[in-house]
């Protein structure tokens, strides 16, 4: 009996997954538990396993499709069983994934007959162009000369914008395209009819394009062109959404490392667990957010949500790209517990085992590029959060001591980006003042100690 394979829900916050790669084809035999495909949530990758044994009867989605959770993605059953009743309404073209009924996987396209002689009536209507069909209009067609010339050079004249009467594609339109292309060898013409394009100049005699010169559309000479997909596509979409929907302003400050380094050494001497400078900054950021809760918030256009607890996002550079796992209820944790949780989440991101729910629900974010030698930078908001703190690299700078003499000390730059729609510059500056004071006077301690 045919059974549908559904897109599983990978966490409560996940509404869809990207199907990045099929591991099977229609007709393959699979057993329960076999991997059918690779899927991605926001930033984590998973195997989609079969929940049935039998023959793969249908694959309903293509690679890189964004598939809703709980939607049918495939059907497994016995040879000859009908899988159509399980097909989701996704509008996908199935010819590349499964044979159409009757064994013909291709869509029939009306053929065009050339005029055989002047006045001959042996001709059919010119096909309507794809663009015209998509817009609901009627194509002005392609002249016979233009069609023959385009066919001889291996491309479809229906894709051109015509300059003839009513937008008709005529000979000069085809010649304009040809003038920017090299001559094609016979084998290259065949490749061109398959959709490949020639370079500006081929490797053949007098620049003729050979079959080996033909490349995918959109290719750039001297460059390896790749499609933006998967995690990179998601990050790109979110970055542009962040810039377009928020008024981002970055404030820069710095703090002296002397007290923090002394505190770390004191912990080591006393046999307590090691903590990093980043751990101390994260802990101080949480304390400062408690004193300035307007930065521990989401801006939602007509609403402003201030969180009671800090859910700290930690930017992690993983092999699969930028990930931001969230330390939930971070304001309830001790420094030791916070350090351990940050390490655990970072390892899960780098090993690809992070759970989707761990990548959502942040109220403020911390990102650190100091280990890469960056001084100050402009962190991009993880909207709808209203603040993100960036940490740069250690710098040796002069400072004036009480005696009036100049000494050198290590400083760490901080870059705070805020959404100016929600937070003004002065409150953001006061947050940085509190943060710097905490790190320079009482690193690793609750903020209340300062107020006593």
Q: pLDDT tens digits for the chain (452 residues)?
A: 889 999 988 776 677 888 888 999 999 999 999 999 988 876 577 889 999 999 999 999 988 787 888 899 999 999 989 888 999 875 443 333 333 333 333 333 333 333 333 333 333 333 333 333 333 333 468 888 888 888 777 777 887 777 777 788 888 778 867 766 676 777 777 777 777 877 767 777 666 778 887 877 666 666 776 777 777 777 888 889 899 999 999 999 999 999 999 999 999 999 999 999 999 999 999 999 999 999 999 999 899 999 999 999 999 998 888 899 999 999 999 999 999 999 999 999 999 888 888 999 999 999 999 989 899 999 999 999 999 999 999 999 999 988 889 999 999 999 999 999 999 999 999 999 999 999 999 999 998 644 43
Phi, psi of 350 (to 5 degrees): -70, -30
* Nearest 10 degrees: Cα torsion 112, 117, 120, 125: 20
**Please, are residues 133 and 126 in contact by the beta-carbon 8 Å criterion?**
no
**CA atoms of 1 and 53, how far apart (whole Å):** 10
**Do the domains at 3-86 and 231-451 have one common CATH topology?**
no
Overall fold of domain 231-451: Chloramphenicol Acetyltransferase (3.30.559)
CATH class of the domain defined by 3-86 = mainly beta
Q: Could you tell me the residue ranges of all domains in the chain?
A: 3-86, 130-213, 231-451
Cα(390)–Cα(394) distance, rounded to whole angstroms? Answer: 13
Burial of 332 (0-12, 13-18, 19+ CB in 10 A): exposed
Helix (H, G, I), strand (E, B) or coil at 364: strand
Q: Where are the beta strands (DSSP E) in 60-156?
A: 65-68, 72-77
Q: Which residues contact 152 (CB under 8 A, 6 or more apart)?
A: 189
Report the alpha-carbon distance of residue 3 to residue 51 in Å, rounded. 8
**Residue tagged 């007290």 (tokens):** 259
């Amino acid at each position: 009996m045919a059974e549908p394979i559904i897109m599983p829900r990978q966490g409560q916050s996940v509404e869809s997954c990207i199907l990045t790669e099929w591991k099977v084809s229609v007709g393959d035999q699979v057993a329960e538990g076999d991997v059918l495909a690779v899927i991605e949530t926001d930033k984590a990758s998973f195997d989609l396993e079969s929940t049935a044994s039998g023959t793969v009867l249908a694959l309903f989605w293509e690679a890189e499709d964004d598939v809703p959770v709980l939607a049918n993605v495939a059907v497994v059953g016995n040879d000859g069983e009908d899988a159509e009743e399980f097909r989701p309404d996704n509008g996908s073209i199935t010819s590349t994934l499964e044979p159409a009924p009757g064994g013909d996987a291709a869509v029939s396209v009306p053929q065009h007959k050339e005029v055989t002689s002047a006045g001959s009536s042996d001709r059919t209507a010119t096909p309507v162009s794809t663009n015209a069909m998509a817009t609901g209009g009627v194509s002005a067609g392609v002249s016979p000369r233009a069609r023959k010339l385009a066919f001889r050079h291996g491309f479809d004249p229906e894709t051109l914008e015509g300059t003839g009467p009513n937008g008709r594609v005529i000979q000069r339109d085809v010649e304009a395209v040809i003038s920017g292309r090299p001559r094609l060898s016979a084998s290259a013409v065949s490749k061109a009819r398959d959709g490949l394009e020639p370079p500006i100049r081929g490797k053949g005699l007098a620049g003729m394009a050979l079959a080996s010169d033909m490349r995918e559309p959109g290719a750039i000479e001297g460059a390896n062109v790749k499609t933006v997909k998967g995690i990179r596509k998601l990050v790109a979409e979110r970055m542009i959404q962040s810039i377009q929907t928020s008024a981002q302003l970055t404030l820069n400050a710095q703090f002296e490392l002397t007290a923090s380094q002394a505190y770390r050494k004191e912990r080591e001497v006393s046999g307590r667990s090691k903590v990093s400078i980043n751990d101390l900054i994260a802990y101080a950021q949480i304390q400062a957010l408690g004193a300035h809760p307007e930065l521990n918030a989401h801006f939602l256009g007509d609403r402003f949500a201030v969180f009671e607890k800090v859910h700290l996002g930690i930017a992690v550079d993983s092999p699969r790209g930028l990930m931001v796992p969230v330390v939930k209820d971070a304001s309830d944790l001790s420094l030791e517990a916070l350090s351990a949780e940050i390490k655990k989440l970072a390892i899960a991101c780098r090993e690809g085992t992070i759970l989707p729910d761990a990548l959502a629900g942040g109220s403020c974010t911390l990102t650190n590029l100091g280990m890469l030698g960056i001084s100050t930078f402009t962190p991009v908001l993880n909207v709808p959060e209203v603040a993100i703190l960036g940490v740069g690299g250690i710098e040796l700078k002069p400072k004036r001591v009480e005696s009036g003499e100049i000494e050198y000390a290590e400083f760490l730059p901080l870059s705070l980006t805020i959404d100016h729609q929600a937070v003004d510059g002065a409150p953001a500056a006061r947050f940085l003042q509190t943060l710097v004071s905490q790190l320079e006077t009482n690193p690793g301690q609750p903020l209340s100690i300062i107020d006593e």
